[in-house]
């Protein structure tokens, strides 16, 4: 079942390491000005909440005013949030490349519809990355105090929608090979179990996330990213290590 190109593990490790950095910033450096302004998301999910801000006043309630004094918690949060957006440009490149690889693996397999699923997954992740770049630029402009021309949510929702769609599309490959691939050596059963768990987590995260996007429920998006996509990346890491 080792259909993954060699660079897949490298890209995934880089993606996870940068994820740890960004999670650390979220937990220890980003403090919302008003926790009740996050539309059901946790204070540690301020980054997601900002991506889904409905208006300029909504944004300011989350991160505070640009006129906050130097050294204040608000000024620190705004500064770290800006740094996180610059890191996000690299993050975007990594997840686009990772899902591009996964889509290519799916395209190369012989089960019915695999090629179309892989093509669709690649298209979805490129669109997600494009909207993510526009979203980051919008957040950086908002942090500088520029007036909103469009709500950040205008770009954040389609970014998440296409991202969750890509996750759902590639989940089919993992689920198929959990059920149909032959065992590979003594670890074949473990490989298939990890592939199945990865597929289930991607599918669950994709479905819940898409429901959140369609219904405008920010908390569903946060749950899907935290409890669906994130653990799927860890099980994928275990699978790729075993398949080396």
Per-domain boundaries in the chain: 7-242
Structure tokens at 23: 């999670």
Cα separation, 87 vs 179, whole angstroms: 38
The pLDDT score that the predictor gives to residue 82 is: 96
Per-block mean pLDDT, blocks of 10 residues, the chain (244 long): 82 98 95 92 96 95 85 92 97 98 90 93 98 98 91 97 98 90 61 94 98 97 98 97 87
The pLDDT score that the predictor gives to residue 184 is: 44
Cα separation, 171 vs 32, whole angstroms: 34
Can you give the pTM of this predicted structure? Answer: 0.95
Cα separation, 78 vs 109, whole angstroms: 46
Structure tokens at 133: 């770049």
CA distances from 50 to 92, 163, 182 (A): 17, 17, 45
The pLDDT score that the predictor gives to residue 111 is: 81
The pLDDT score that the predictor gives to residue 186 is: 46
The pLDDT score that the predictor gives to residue 38 is: 96
Residue 140, classed as helix, strand or coil, is helix
Residue with tokens 């800006």: 82
């Amino acid at each position: 079942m080792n259909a993954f190109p060699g660079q897949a593990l490298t890209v995934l490790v880089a993606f996870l390491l940068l994820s740890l950095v960004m999670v650390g910033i979220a937990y220890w450096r980003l403090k919302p000005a008003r926790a009740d302004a996050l539309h059901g998301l946790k204070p540690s999910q301020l980054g997601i909440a900002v991506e889904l801000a409905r208006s300029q006043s909504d944004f300011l309630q989350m991160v505070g005013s640009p006129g906050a004094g130097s050294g204040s918690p608000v000024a620190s949060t705004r500064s770290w949030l800006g740094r996180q957006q610059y890191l996000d440009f690299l993050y975007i490149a990594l997840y686009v490349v990772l899902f591009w690889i996964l889509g290519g693996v799916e395209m190369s397999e012989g089960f019915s519809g695999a090629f179309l699923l892989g093509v669709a997954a690649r298209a979805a992740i490129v669109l997600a990355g494009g909207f993510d770049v526009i979203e980051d630029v919008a957040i950086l402009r908002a942090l500088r105090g520029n007036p909103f021309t469009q709500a950040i949510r205008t770009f954040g929702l389609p970014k998440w929608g296409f991202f969750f769609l890509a996750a759902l599309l590639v989940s089919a490959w993992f689920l198929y090979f959990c059920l149909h691939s032959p065992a590979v050596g003594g670890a074949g059963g473990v490989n298939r179990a990890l592939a199945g768990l990865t597929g289930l987590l991607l599918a669950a995260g994709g479905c819940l996330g898409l429901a959140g996007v369609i219904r405008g429920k920010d908390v569903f998006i946060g749950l899907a990213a935290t409890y669906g996509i994130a653990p799927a990346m860890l099980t994928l890491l275990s699978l790729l290590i075993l398949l080396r």
